[in-house]
Structure 1
Amino acid sequence: MVLSEHVNADKLLSNLTGKGDEHAIRALIASHTLRDPYSSKYNSQEPIPKFRIPEEGCEEKQAYQLIKDDLDLDGKPNLNLASFVNTYISDRAEKLAVENLTKNLADADEYPALMTVHARCVSILGHLWNNTDHEKAIGTATTGSSEAIHLGGLAMKKRWQEKRRAAGKSTEKPNILMAANAQVALEKFARYFDVEDRIIPVREASKHCLDLSKIKENLDENTIGIFVIMGSTYTGHYEDVQGVAKILDEYEKETGHSIDIHVDGASGAMVAPFLYPDLEWDFRVPRVKSINTSGHKFGLTTAGLGWILWRDAKYLPKELIFELHYLGGKEESYTLNFSRPGFPVLHQYYNFLHLGFDGYKQLHASSMANARLLSVFLEATGHYTCVSEIHLPANGSKPKDVKHVATADPLQYMAGLPVVAFRFSDSFRKAHPEVPQAAVSTLLRVKGYIIPNYELPPSEQKTEILRVVVRQSMSIDLLDRLMEDISAITNVLLEAVEDVKKLRAEGDHDPQLIHKYVLTLVTGKPVEEREEDWEGHSTFRAAC
C-alpha cells in the first residue's frame, strides 16, 4: 500500500492563485461555467470534496455517478499485460461474491459454512501439492501472497529459534537466503522481522534465477531457511527446488545443520500442478515445509486472496497460534490480518468446482500456447530475442513450426509461466544502438497497453527487458493485434531515428521535419504531412 500525505485543499488553492480568498475565486469560475449536467449538489460553485469529509452528504445515485466517472480514468484491465493479477470474473461468480460481500472470514462462529468452504480449499490445495499420506497439511487464506510469505518466513524463524534454544545456543542474527530476482514481499519479510537477507546474485547461466553454485557459501548455523521461487516475476522461470534440496541434504551431512525450504509459488503453484504434474517442487520434496500461492493470479480469483500451507501441523509453531474467545466461540488465528472479506475464498471454491482439474489445465495450456506464439513471432522479426524459454523444445531441439507451437502439449516445451520476457536482439542493437528499448513500452502505452521495460536484477542490471504476462483473458485476436502493434512501433522508432539523423546531417531546424518527428513519437505511427499545411510555415494543422 502506498503511503499518502494529507492535502490542505484551501492552502493549496491559495498558493496556486496567490490570493487568500479561494471562495471568491471559485465563484468567479462558476460565473463562466455551466452547471453540472448530472444535477448534483457538487458543481462549479461547490466542488466535490476531495480532502475533507463534507458537512452534508448527497444522494446515493449522485455519489455513485461521481465516483464512477472518476474511475473512467483507470486503464483497461485486459490491456494491462504487466500484471499477474486476474481481472476476469464470470457472471455467476460475481453474483456469488456480491451475495456474500459482507461476510467476515475472521468470524467462524457467525459464518461456519464459510469456514467449511475455507477448510475445503485448504484440503484441495494440499492434495494438489501432493501432501503425503502420513502427513496432514494445515493452512489458511491470506491477503495475497505477501502475508503468506511472511507467515512462512516467521514459521521458519520460530522453528530455528526453538532448535537453538533447545541446544543452548544464541538466537541472534538469523539469516535467510533468496535470489536477487525475489519479489519484494520476500525482502519485506527479512526487513520487517529482523532477519538478515542474503541475496544471491543471478546470472545468465542461472537463467536469471537462483544460482545453485552460490548457495553453500552463504549457509551457516544461523540460516533459518531458503526461499525458492516457482515462477520468477522477471522471466517466468521456475527455480530448481529439487536441486536446492539436494544441496541442503549435502550440507546437513557435512555440518549437521538442517535447513528448510519455503516455496514462493505465488504464480507457479497454480500452474505447475496442471501443466507439469511430474515436476517435483512441492510436498514430494521433504525439505519443502511450506508453500504459498496467490489465488488472485493463476488461481483465477479477483484481487486479495493468497494461501499458505504447511505440510503438517508440526511445522506451524504453537507460538504463532492465538486462541480467541470474544466472538462467541473458540477460534484459532495465525494470520497477520484479522477481519477480511470471505467472498474471495468462495470465488476460489467456485473455480475449483466449476473448472475442475481439466478446466484449469485447459485454460493454462491455452495461455501457454499464446505465450509461445508471441515468443516465436518476436524472434522471427529479427528485432527481438526472448529471455524467457517456454517456446524452446524441452528436448533441446530447434523450435518447431507455428502450428506445433500453438497446439502442442506444454510438456514438450521448457517449463515456466506463460510469461514472455524479451529484449532487442544483439543484431538489432548493433545496427541501431541509438534506439532506446524503453520507447517501445512508452509507445505501446499510447495505444493502451501496459508493458513494462525494466532492468534485470543486480549484477545483470545492464540488461533491460520488456515483459508480457499472458493471462486467460488474452484472446487470440488481442494477441494478433499486439504482435502487429509491436512490429509497427518498432518500425516507427527506426523511422524516427532516421529523421533525427537527417536533421543532424542538414544542420538546420526544419520545422516540418521536427513536427513529423515529434508526432511520430507521440502518436506511435508515421505521419504523412501535406505541403499546403506548411505553406510559409504560418499555419499548424496536425492530424486529429
Structure 2
Amino acid sequence: MVHLASVKNDDEVFDPASRKIDSLSPIPDESEIYTNVYGSRFAAEHLPDHVMPEGEMPRQVAARMIRDELSLDGNPKLNLASFVTTYMEDEIEEIMTDSFSKNFIDYEEYPHSAEIQNRCVNMIARLFNCPTDPNGENAMGTSTIGSSEAIMLGTLAMKKRWQNKRKAEGKDWTRPNIVMNSAVQVCWEKAARYFDIEEKYVYCTESRFVIDPQQAVDLVDENTIGICAILGTTYTGEYEDVKAINDLLVERGIDCPIHVDAASGGFVAPFIQPDLAWDFRLEKVVSINVSGHKYGLVYPGVGWALWRSPEYLPKELVFNINYLGADQASFTLNFSKGASQVIGQYYQMIRLGKHGYRSIMVNLTRIADYMSDQLKQMGMIIMSQGKGKGLPLVAFRLPPNPDRVYDEFTVAHQLRERGWVVPAYTMAPHSEKLQMMRVVVREDFSMNRCDSLLIDVKLALQNLESMDEAMITKYQAHMRNHRAHPRHKQTHAQYQGEKHSLQGQHGKTHGVC
C-alpha cells in the first residue's frame, strides 16, 4: 500500500505543520481511518446544511449519513397522494442505471437513445389516434421532464400560432387569453403567468367538478389562444367532456384549438375506454400532453408533448443546433437531461404492449371499484366515478354530521400514524367548502394492500369516535400547524403568502402530480 504522502512531484514541498503539499493537496490523517461508520467523528457531528465543508468525508460515511436521513422520509409505496410511479422491474432498473451518464440531448454521441425517443413519440401519437403522415415521417412530438414542461410547450405553441395569425390579419396580438377549469393543476397557472396570458376560468360548483363545455365555449373570444380540457382531474379523477367542447366549437364555427391535459388519463383511457373520443380523433384537438411517470409506469420524470401535425408547432419555436457534433432540432424548455427515463418508457411499451397495459389498468380499475364499495359500506360519500369512467382512484368524504367533532383532515392524520399518506384537501374555488380525501390506485397497489388500508381506515374511524373533544382539538391543531413545521418551510420568506394564484386567493389545494 502506497501512502499518499509519497506520491508527489520533486518540486512539491511538504509542510508538516499544515500537512499539505503546496497548500492544495491535503494528506489524510491516519487517525481518521475508521472501522465503523458510527465510530467516526462524523456520526457525532451535525451534517453541513449551509456551508460546504473544507475537508472530505469518506464515501462510506457520506453514503450512510444520507441513507439514514432519507430513511426518515415516508414509504413511497404507502404514499397514496401521488400519481407518480413507485415500481419498475429489476431488468429496466439496471438498464436505466447504466444510462445515468448519458446526456440525452447529445444526439451525435447517443443516436440510439434519440431513436428510442422517436419510437416512443410515434407509438404514443398513434395510441392517441394522431393522423398518420403518408410519407412515413415521424409524428410531431418530444419527450419532456414531465407534463408541466409539456404543458408549457403546448401553451407556447398555441400562443405563438394565435399571434402569427393576428399579426397577419393586422389585429392586436398583445392580449391573449386561455380558457380552463378552476380545477387545473398549478402548472397551468404557471404557464399563463409566465407567458403573459390571461386566465379565464370555468369554476366548479358543489355538484360539478369538471369543466362545463357550454360555459367554456361561451368564454372564447377573438383573443383566446385555446381551451384546456383535462383527461382525469387531480381532485376526483373525472374525464372532462372533450368531445362536447369540440362539437360546440364546430357547431358555432369558432376557430379555437383544444389542448388536452392527459397527464394522468392518457395511459388509462385508451385501454379502459377505447371508444371514448377525447384525442386527435376530434378535429379541434391540436396538442396533447401525457406523463410517462404516472400511468405510463416510469419513474419520475418523463412526459410527452404531441401535436396533430407540424402546422400546430410554429417554426420559430424550433431551434436547430449543431455544437454537439450533429444538426438537431430542439423544441424543449430544458436542454440537457438524462436518457434513462426515455429508455424506461420504451421498455415498458415494448415489454407490456397494449395487452399488458390493458391488464394493469383493468386490475387497478377493479381495485378502485372494490375500495369504493367498501368505503360506501363505512358510510363514506364517494366523489369519484368508478367502472372505468375516470382514473383508477377513489375520492371520498365523510357523511354530513353536525355532531361529529372530527373531519377528513383528522382522519388523514390518523392514517399517517400508520404510515399511509392519504391526502385530505378542499375542492377547487367556488366549491372549496367541500373537504375530501383521495386514494390513487397505482400499479403496485394490490388488492392485499387495499385490504390493509381499509382495515386501517376502520381503525382510524373507531379511534376518532372514542376520543374526547379535547383530543380531537389537538389533532386538528396539529394538522393546521403541520405546514408550519420548520422542515416544510422551503420558500424564502419574501415569497410566502402570495395572493396571485388560486391557492393564494381561495386556499385551493392543487392535486399532487
TM range (shorter): 0.7 to 0.9
Give distance in 2, aligned partners of 1:47 and 1:469.
Answer: 37
Q: Does 1:418 align with 2:392?
A: yes
CA distance in 2 between partners of 1:350 and 1:517 (Å): 50
8 Å CA contact 1:41–1:58 kept in 2: the answer is: no
Match of 2:42 in 1: 42
- The answer as to whether partners of 1:271 and 1:364 remain within 8 angstroms in 2 is yes
Q: 1:160-239 counterparts in 2 under 5 A?
A: 160-206=162-208, 208-239=209-240
**SS of equivalent residue, structure 1 residue 42:** helix
TM-score under structure 1 normalisation?
0.78
Structure 1: how far apart are the matches of 2:433 and 2:441?
25
Query: Are 2:254 and 1:240 equivalent residues in the alignment?
Result: no
* Aligned 8 A contact 1:36 1:42 in 2: no
Given candidates 443, 446, 450, the residue that maps to 2:417 is: 446
The 5-angstrom pairing of residues 355-366 of structure 1 reads: 355-366=352-363
1:319 counterpart (294, 316, 320): 316
Q: Does the 8 Å contact 2:37/2:61 carry over to 1?
A: no
CA distance in 1, matches of 2:354, 2:408: 40
Deviates more, 1:349-358 or 1:51-60: 51-60
Distance between the aligned counterparts of 1:349 and 1:307, measured in 2? Answer: 12
Q: Determine the C-alpha separation between the residues in 1 that align with 2:384 and 2:56.
A: 53
Contact 1:36 1:43 in 2 (8 A): no
User: For residue 213 of structure 2, what is the amino acid of its counterpart?
Assistant: L
CA distance in 2, matches of 1:437, 1:518: 15
- Work out whether 1:141 is the aligned partner of 2:143: yes
Give distance in 2, aligned partners of 1:82 and 1:305: 19
Moved more, 57-66 or 166-175: 57-66
Q: Aligned Cα RMSD in Å?
A: 2.1
Deviation at 1:149, TM superposition (A): 0.2
Q: How does 1:351-430 map to 2 (within 5 A)?
A: 351-382=348-379, 384-390=380-386, 413=387, 415-426=389-400, 429-430=401-402
Distance 2:188 2:309 in 1: 22
**2:431 equivalent in structure 1:** 460
* Alignment partners' CA distance in 2, 1:518 and 1:50: 32
Whole-Å separation in 2 of the counterparts to 1:370 and 1:163: 48
Map residues 148-159 of structure 1 onto 2, 5 A cutoff: 148-159=150-161
Q: Is the 8 A contact 1:293 1:307 kept in 2?
A: yes
Deviation at 1:345, TM superposition (A): 0.4
Shift of 1:266: 0.3
1:81 maps to what in 2? 80
- 1:102 maps onto 2:101 in alignment: yes
| Contact kept? 2:273, 2:388, Cα under 8 Å | no
Name the SS of the counterpart of 1:215 in structure 2: helix
Q: How far off its partner does 1:381 sit?
A: 1.6
- Counterpart for residue 474 of structure 1: 445
Amino acid in the other structure paired with 2:392:
P
Q: Percent identity?
A: 42
Q: 1 CA distance for matches of 2:388 and 2:444?
A: 23
SS at match of 2:39: coil
Deviation at 1:37, TM superposition (A): 5.2
The structure 1 segments of at least 4 consecutive aligned residues displaced by more than 4 Å after TM superposition are: 516-519
Give CA deviations for 1:519-543 in whole Å, capped at 9, x if unaligned.
Answer: 9x99xxxxxxxxxxxxxxxxxxxxx
Which residue, out of 492, 496, 500, partners 2:463?
492
Alignment of 1:18-33 (within 5 A): none
Match runs of 1:53-132 below 5 Å: 53-132=52-131
**Aligned-partner residue type, residue 440 of structure 1:** V
Deviations 1:239-298 (A, max 9, x none): 00100101211332xxxx400000000000110111111111111011110100000000
The Cα of 1:212 is off from its aligned counterpart by 1.8
Report if the CA contact (8 A) 1:145-1:292 is conserved. yes
Q: What's the TM-score, normalizing by structure 2?
A: 0.83
Which amino acid counterpart does residue 386 of structure 1 have in structure 2? I
C-alpha distance in structure 1 between counterparts of 2:174 and 2:356, whole Å: 48
Counterparts in 2 of 1:466 and 1:517: CA distance versus 1, 3 Å: closer
Quote how far apart the aligned CAs of 1:203 are: 2.0
In structure 1, the gaps of 5 or more residues are 1-34, 391-412, 504-513, 523-544
Number of equivalences: 441
- Structure 2 CA distance for aligned equivalents of residues 353 and 220 of structure 1: 44
* CA distance, structure 2, for counterparts of residue 37 and residue 60 of structure 1: 10
Gaps of 5+ in 2: 1-34, 479-513
Look up the SS of the partner of 1:66 in the other structure. Answer: helix
Offset of 1:47 from its aligned partner? 3.4
Distance 1:40 1:266 in 2: 47
